[in-house]
Amino acid sequence: MFLFCADPAAIEGLTWLSCYLTTGKHMAFYLSFLVVLVLMALAAPAAMLFGFVGALACRSRVAPVRFLGQGYITMVRGIPDIAFFLFVPVALDQAFEFLRHKTFCSETTQPVWRGNEFLVCDAAKLPLGTSPQWVHEIYGFMLALLAFAIVFGAFAGNTLRGAMRAVPDAQLQAAAAFGMTRRQIFWRVHLPQMWVFALPGLSNLWMILVKATPLLFLLGVEDVVYWARELGGSKTSAHSYPHGDWRLWYFLGLLVFYLALTWLSEKFFTKLMARFSFGQATLGGSEAAS
């Protein structure tokens, strides 16, 4: 990156370190922090969407819809996260390719599953073999994002379902007495009142999401954990680095990053809780009013 880095024999000390920390691999390492932040920024609203739909399905008067919502929340919450994270991307990838295989290669008579192998035609592969590397990386990231949304959506759905039940019935009955319809009661009374009960659980879920982002490493995405292990080690299967085992320092950097992220999250949710609790007949509302 720097001009004086052109001649490796002429650099030493801090100059060498500045050249080392600005290599292409380190730039990818710095970019991986953005990957983690983008994952959280996209996974949180996606999980809320899954959770909101699941919570509404659990409250449905239609039995099949209610059983579907309850089954989704119960099943996902009952399966270990690591197993679900490893299963969902593979299952979704094969499902997408199977559908494309049936669409674009309908003339093929050979089965897709042949023993332990899953083989589709070239036109059905996702991404295509001719696609650039960034397409493969984005596709893998999107599969990981969908897995995060499904898993954390189940936990969010359970939290939202409990928050909806916590809203006092007297407020809903009062709204009905004023002539409001069921839809108006839900959107104007029930939903706004619900958030003060849901925020403590959702804030905990956000913290768990923050701690779960290193699972990207297990899903094949080159995240901060991947690069910390790659750059911190003294050598890889391909080449050796001009230093010893520096993984301790790289992972200490990750520790500072996640602690800072947790501290900022706590500040944000404290202010958000005070905002939603203002004027509410809850402990949080009483504290905010005082």
Query: Residue 144 maps to which CATH number?
Result: 1.10.3720.10
What's the CA gap between 232 and 244, in Å, rounded? Answer: 8
Is the residue at 207 inside a domain?
yes
pLDDT band with cut points at 50, 70 and 90 for residue 239: low
pLDDT at 273: 81
Is the residue at 7 inside a domain?
no
Question: Which DSSP symbol is given to 187?
Answer: I
Query: How many CA atoms lie within 13 Å of 188's alpha carbon, on the beta-carbon side?
Result: 11
What's the CA gap between 57 and 72, in Å, rounded? Answer: 10
Is the residue at 14 inside a domain?
no
Is the residue at 227 inside a domain?
yes
Are 219 and 140 in contact by the 8 Å Cβ rule? The answer is: yes
pLDDT band with cut points at 50, 70 and 90 for residue 13: low
Residue 43, domain extent: 21-289
Is the residue at 163 inside a domain?
yes
pLDDT band with cut points at 50, 70 and 90 for residue 278: low
Q: Does residue 46 have a pLDDT over 90?
A: yes
Max mean pLDDT among 74-83, 88-97, 195-204, 208-217 falls in 195-204
pLDDT band with cut points at 50, 70 and 90 for residue 283: very low
Q: For 215-230, what is each residue's pLDDT tens digit?
A: 787 777 777 888 888 7
CA distances from 144 to 40, 136, 140, 203, 224 (A): 11, 12, 6, 22, 15
Q: What percentage of the chain reaches a pLDDT higher than 90?
A: 18
Q: For 133-184, what is each residue's pLDDT tens digit?
A: 888 888 888 888 888 899 899 999 999 999 888 888 888 888 888 888 888 8
Are 28 and 227 in contact by the 8 Å Cβ rule? The answer is: yes
Are 87 and 192 in contact by the 8 Å Cβ rule? The answer is: no
Max mean pLDDT among 89-98, 113-122, 225-234 falls in 89-98
pLDDT band with cut points at 50, 70 and 90 for residue 286: very low
Are 234 and 245 in contact by the 8 Å Cβ rule? The answer is: yes
pLDDT (mean) for 26-48: 89
pLDDT band with cut points at 50, 70 and 90 for residue 47: very high
> Which residues lie below 8 Å from residue 50, measured CB to CB, with a gap of 6+?
149, 150, 152, 153, 154, 156, 157
Max mean pLDDT among 29-33, 76-80, 260-264, 269-273 falls in 260-264
Is the residue at 5 inside a domain?
no
pLDDT (mean) for 256-262: 91
What's the CA gap between 72 and 213, in Å, rounded? Answer: 22
pLDDT at 157: 92
Q: For 65-79, what is each residue's pLDDT tens digit?
A: 999 999 999 888 888
Q: Does residue 285 have a pLDDT over 60?
A: no
Total domains in the chain come to 1
**Among residues 177, 170, 165, 172, which one has the least CA distance to residue 189?**
172
Q: Does residue 81 have a pLDDT over 70?
A: yes
Q: Indicate the average pLDDT of the chain.
A: 81
Q: Does residue 287 have a pLDDT over 50?
A: no
Is the residue at 16 inside a domain?
no
Are 153 and 46 in contact by the 8 Å Cβ rule? The answer is: yes
